[in-house]
Each structure stands twice: as structure tokens, then as C-alpha cells.
Structure 1
């Protein structure tokens, strides 16, 4: 008689709550590999969020701008539209307008936008910065104060500004902090340790371990996430037992395969379909390797990934 072998792990991923009230979400909590329902507790269902930005999405492809044409000049209306029409688990507001290389909007102006969005929606909010470490430190310090009580996820604290972002977000105020590293298990581990040494509990940290669009080099993203999960579960490495969020849309909608026009490369087919396919392929890979939350941009990607997750966990 065949007896199925069960792989038991000593470690467990922390459970982290984002948001408040009935729509609050929990991520993590598993003690086995993604979707391995036959081996153990897979924890909370992976959550899928949608990206909006605080300024008109000038660099987005026309098909996406057409979807949001009636609301994308107003981030509050955009957020409400996405929540009501597509029902994501959370919304990720990317404060692109704060970028010093772009509109360079003031910290005060961007903070007000984020607060207005947080108060207009019921689902949890994640707020992403500009990638400029100095500006983001000031931005998240202000956001943490003004959004106190909303339990938002601040994306992200990096090595250059984690002291300000993590201290303001999770020590001075009650938020969750995203620890962002660049596709390297040692860097992810080191940043989690540094944030923990500030006094921030590991249970208040979500890791963004990096991503790239599916294609050349993508296997390194997958192998890094696999190594992180195996160390967290198999070696009970508590410094790596944080849930993982992956802002897939940030990477997939900027590569040539997604933005090349049909006029310039007609042989590649529909620009919109290419972007959706790339977003789905990238998201599927990181989900299967340990990501607990995704940020997507196209509604069809959201629908497809939601169906996939439901099917795998049915």
C-alpha cells in the first residue's frame, strides 16, 4: 500500500496584518512551501493588489490609460474606482509625483494625497515611494504620522534609509514596513536584522526581495526566493520568516516586450496582450516560489491570478 511522504518543516512564516476593520488582510502564516497543501498549513491565501499612482500615468500604455481615463487624473477617484470595479485585496498607491527627477511634488502635498486615498477606501493601502532614498525617507516619515491608525504598508525601507522609515513606520506609529533588497538572500537577511535591531518586531516587517520581468535573468529571482523560503522553513531562520510582497507591475510594464508599439514591431502582436501575458507569467513564477502578495496593474492580470490561486488551493 502506497504511503505518501509528508515533508515537515520546523520553521513558520510570520503572519502580518495590513489594514483595519473587516477588509483588513493577513499574509504569511504558512509552515510549508507555496500551495503544498499536502505537506502542511499553507497559511493565508496570497493577496493581490492593484497599482495606482498620484499623477496622470503618462508613461503607461494607451490601453491602460483608456481603462482608467475617467479617473486617472484624481488618485482618490481612481482608488475608489479600482476598489468598486475590480475588488482587489488591497491598493498600492505609488507616489511617482514625489520623484525629484520628475514633478518633485512636496512631501506635504503627497502626504495629503495618500491620506485622502486611505480615507476614501475600505481595503488596505500600501504606499510606494519614488526610489530616491533621501526623498522617500522624508516622505515615509510624514506618511507614517498622518496615516496613523490606518495600518498601511510602507514600501519600502532600503539599507540607505531604513532607520528613518522603519523607526517612523513601526516604532513611532503602528504601520507595517516593507524591507526592500535586491534579489540576494544575504541582503534580505541583513536588512531584516538591521530593522530588527532598531526595535522593530519581525512581525511588523514584510520583505520585498526584488523582482524582474520574466525572461533573461528571471531565474535568479526565482532561485533567490526559493532559497529564502527553504532557509526560513527548513533551517528555522527567523530572520527570513517574513512574508514577501512582490510589486510585479513595477517591473513588467517598463520592459521593451511590454511597451514596444505595434507600429514599430507588428510581428509581436497586440501590445496590451503582451503586457498582460508578461505580468501574469512573472506573477505566477513569484507566487510559486514564495510571494505572499502581488501588486498588479492590469485588471485581466488580477482576474487571471485570482482564478489561478483559487484553483490551486481548491
Structure 2
């Protein structure tokens, strides 16, 4: 059998500390092509929690988390003990200026308490307001120093503040978020490394969408990034990729439409899980090294998917 040799290799990045720390990346072939080379570390699966009560989540999840959803620390401990993902993603929805506009200082206290309460690696996601996230991460990063967290994400608008305040000052890992374009992903990686952030401290977040919503652009972007690395050894694209799948899949009409409005669509919960699994499986198959999920059933299916393919 003919074997295709790769010129490049995905950088291995470690998140977390101790026995539960995870490594992502490390492959020098396209996903699961173990007959062509080293497939590196298995894709890692995280579960999303919020800093506020999840008002708009499906009823079954609110029921599952009813005793802990008002307290991010207890919520994180519950997820670690009962649901057992590879990592936890704490998303600061309450800090959003359009939500409760919580102060960076308050969020820093929450992040510190969560990081100290769990042994799983912690991924910290902001509000998607680039200006607020820069201020938020500046306070959260020192509060969780020593826990080797991954922060999502630095963008072209705030990369200087986030890069300096997260990776350079406190040795955390940094997500480089671009908008579904290989050249934008490359440019942001170059800007961050010129700032002084080490390549091995960067994880790319190259965009996110649910299947059926421009998803082919995301898939082709991830594919092009990986092929540019493997075939041309493009060092500016050697970082592993994380995709926060749940941030998008639960916000599309198929996952949100009320059962009374579209009874023929069936259970809202089942629809959301299907969107999440379809998206996660597809993006892992094309090259994402880690995904964030919301529903425990999605995690269960994806664990089986990864274990049988890797």
C-alpha cells in the first residue's frame, strides 16, 4: 500500500495540570489515517457550563442541573463527577454587556473557585464582546495562575491585550479566534507569535457553525489549514484546533423551535442533541482536536465515536 508522508506536524499543546491534564494535537496525518502516519492524541471532548443560571437551555438540562446550576463551582464538580468529560468549559455569559454585565473582578473570583474545585482542565470562554473579553481575561488570568487554562479567545481586535494578559504574563494557553478563513487564521497566529506568545501556547479557534449553516465553509477551512501544514510544512498553521460546537448548535432554529410550533419536528431536546453530534463528529473528522459540547448524551455518543475511530 502506498503511504503518503507528511512534511509537517501539528504542535502538541497541554492544558490543565496533574493526572487529569490533557494533550491535544501531535498528529502528522489527516484524522484517523493511522495507516499513513502518527495520528497523535485522541480528540478531546469538553462540557460547557455557565457562570449564570442557564435560562434558555432545554428543560431536561435544567432538570439535570437543578441543584447546581445556580453555583458554577458546584456545577463544575457535578460535571466532573457525574458526566466525566475530558475538560470543562466555563463560559462567562453573565459578563456580557447585553446580559448582566458582571465585572471582571467578580468573574475572576468565580473562575478561581471553579479551577480550585476541580481536577479536570479548565477552558475559559468570554462573552464574544472583544472589548469586554480583554478586560475580563486580564483579571481572570492571574486568578487561575498555575492551573494552565485555555482562554477562548484572542481576536484580531484584542489580541495584544489578551495575548499579553493571558499567555505572556500568566503562562496560560490561548485560543486564536478567526472567522473561517485560512489567511485570517494564519495572520492571527503570526501576530500573536510576533507579540511574543509561543506557538506551543496557541490553540486555533478557526470559526464555528452548526451543520447546515455555512458548515461547508468551516469544514473546507479546517481541511485547507491541515493540508497546508502537512503538505507544505507551514509553521504558522501548526497549532491544534478547538471548536466550541455547543455555542452554535443550540442556537439554530432546529434546536430552538418550540414543539408546539412544529410538532412534526419531534422533541426539541433530541433535535439539539442531533445537531450537536452531527456537527462535532463532522468537525473532528476533518481535523478539530477538541470540541465543546453541552448535552451529556452528545458526550456519550462522541466518546464512543472517538474511541472506535482512534
TM-score by length of 1: 0.98
Pairing 1:174–2:186 present:
no
Pairing 1:13–2:10 present:
yes
- Tell me the residue number matched to 1:289: 286
Pairing 1:108–2:92 present:
no
Moved over 6 A (4+): none
- Tell me the residue number matched to 1:83: 80
- Tell me the residue number matched to 1:161: 158
Match of 1:26 among 11, 23, 29: 23
Match of 1:53 among 50, 71, 77: 50
Runs of 5+ unmatched residues, structure 2: none
3-state SS in 2 of match to 1:179: strand
Match of 1:70 among 67, 70, 74: 67
Match of 1:251 among 248, 251, 256: 248
- Tell me the residue number matched to 1:129: 126
**How many aligned positions are there?**
310
Give the Cα separation in 2 of the matches to 1:49 and 1:263: 32
Match of 2:39 among 38, 42, 46: 42
3-state SS in 1 of match to 2:88: strand
Give the Cα separation in 2 of the matches to 1:244 and 1:183: 12
3-state SS in 1 of match to 2:39: coil
Give the Cα separation in 2 of the matches to 1:268 and 1:67: 23
Give the Cα separation in 2 of the matches to 1:86 and 1:59: 21
- Tell me the residue number matched to 2:214: 217
Q: CA deviation at 1:216?
A: 3.7
Give the Cα separation in 1 of the matches to 2:169 and 2:70: 33
Q: CA deviation at 1:274?
A: 0.4
- Tell me the residue number matched to 2:148: 151
Q: CA deviation at 1:186?
A: 0.6
3-state SS in 2 of match to 1:171: helix
- Tell me the residue number matched to 2:115: 118
TM-score by length of 2: 0.99
- Tell me the residue number matched to 1:242: 239
How far does the alpha carbon of each residue in 1:223-259 deviate from its partner, in whole angstroms, 9 at most, with x for none? 1110000001111001000000000000000011001
3-state SS in 2 of match to 1:26: strand
3-state SS in 2 of match to 1:148: coil
Give the Cα separation in 1 of the matches to 2:108 and 2:31: 36
Give the Cα separation in 2 of the matches to 1:65 and 1:7: 48
How far does the alpha carbon of each residue in 1:183-223 deviate from its partner, in whole angstroms, 9 at most, with x for none? 11111000000000001111100000011000141111111
Give the Cα separation in 2 of the matches to 1:286 and 1:222: 7
Q: CA deviation at 1:65?
A: 1.2
- What is the root-mean-square deviation in Å for CA atoms of aligned residues? 0.7
